[in-house]
Amino acid sequence: MKTGIIQQHNTADIQDNRQRLAESIRSLAKQGAELIVLQELHNSLYFCQTENVDLFDLAETIPGPSTDFFGALARELQVVIVTSLFERRAPGLYHNTAVVLEKDGSIAGKYRKMHIPDDPAYYEKFYFTPGDLGFHPIQTSVGRLGVLVCWDQWYPEAARLMALQGADMLIYPTAIGYESSDTPDEQERQRMAWQTVQRGHAVANGLPVVTVNRTGHEPDPSKQTNGIQFWGTSFVAGPQGELLYEAPRDSETTAIIDVNLQRSEQVRRWWPFLRDRRIDHYDDIIKRFID
């Protein structure tokens, strides 16, 4: 399947961000992309660097303006698009939500981010209620998409539950970068750990992984930190963790990667991890910690 990715540097101009995404989507579709994946919270700056109640005004309903906008593109171009939106579910109730748009422009399904971080410059617990839709792949005309979001990518349980329900690939819209006070060595350890754990999900589940991060520097409005330098490095890994594509760290890019979904079947025959799971001895996994 020809899978398109868009790694973009966002600004405070939401309309410009969306228009540039639309241009990239059109370009990828013209090149034959069947599935196009966007980065986390792609319409705006990454607003979670501060806690500001006025920023809830960025949220929108689903369906709403963005699903209408990207749905129209999906319908016109006959592509499946994975979007990432700030969802206003009800007054005072908001989610970080991925929405998959089918080729006819309809909403194929959505996923609300389950694991919500709370770190300096990533104050997501202030904005997002943890997801309540569970871990379920979304059926589309191009396959069953195991869509998760950013912080979810550190959790093998999330990837496994998607795999056990027949996901054809794992997809992670992402917004992650460097803390400026960390040393270059520490920054590199973090970036490599981020990629390594996701390639591990590919291996453990015999599935391709598509991860799309943003790039560029975004300032901290409070000026308490030096802002976030997003590390780009969007990538696609095959079902043995092999890198099929890796984007640069510090520049915008679009790419089409031909992902062979049939390869997962063969890899799982060689490495039958699902067959050999000891499900009769995993009860303790649902405990917070085993004392």
Active site residues: 40, 113, 150
Pairing of strands 169-173, 143-147: parallel
Q: Which two tokens stand for residue 221?
A: 């409005």
List beta partners, residue 83: 99
Q: Is the peptide bond before 63 cis (omega within 30 degrees of 0)?
A: yes
CB-based contacts of 189, cutoff 8 Å, min separation 6:
none
As given in the structure block, the two tokens for residue 12 are 């405070």
Strand partners, 218: 228
User: Which H or E run includes 123?
Assistant: none
Tell me the chain's radius of gyration from C-alpha atoms: 18
Tally of CA atoms within 13 A in the half-sphere of 115 that contains its CB:
16
Other C-beta atoms closer than 10 Å to the C-beta of 213 total 26
* Residue 244 CA neighbour count, 13 Å, CB half: 25
Dihedral of CA atoms 236, 5, 152, 249 in degrees, nearest 10, equals 80
Residue 169 identity: M
User: First CA to last CA across the chain, in angstroms?
Assistant: 46
Alpha carbon distances (Å) from 221 to 195, 228, 253: 29, 11, 26
